[in-house]
Amino acid sequence: MDDIRFKHFSPIVTGTPGAGQGLYPPSTSTQIKNEPSVAFADVLRNTIEKNSEVNFSNHAIKRAVDHNMDITDDELNRLNEGVRLASEKNLDDTLILVGEKAFVVSVKNNTVITTVNNNSIQGNVFTNINGAVIV
């Protein structure tokens, strides 16, 4: 059997590789993470305002940005159709499933309350809804 004392082990390094050696400028990762989020939120809000009949609450937009949810025009059209179907059935707070995304919508206020993407939809419990629409 080999004696473990004679084996070479690589050290465990945490943090940014090469940061202490001047290979990467300090604190650029923080700036890069924050700037696209703001731009993405603005782009998402503008797209929703142009193409959607339903409004998005600030919380719903924040959740969509935090989870990097790209909402296409087709998905907005399907969401609008889901709200229309829920309204026809006189539903108030409704879970609308559009592909792998879930939207909790206040139909009477025509507003998306929150959004959930496919990464966090499994194992989630939706409360205070009185209907679900799958479009």
* CB-side neighbour CA atoms (13 Å) of 102: 18
pTM to 2 decimals? Answer: 0.63
pLDDT of 111: 94
Could you report the per-residue pLDDT of 13-23, keeping only the tens digit for each?
555 555 555 55
Return the bridge partners of 131, or none: 94
Structure tokens at 122: 């499994």
Question: How far apart are alpha carbons 41 and 39 in whole angstroms?
Answer: 5
Q: CB-hemisphere CA count at 13 Å for 12?
A: 0
Cα dihedral 78→125→115→117 (10° resolution): -80
Bigger pLDDT: 124 vs 42: 124
In single-letter form, the type of residue at position 102 comes to A
Residue type, 73: D
Locate the domains of the chain by residue range: 26-134
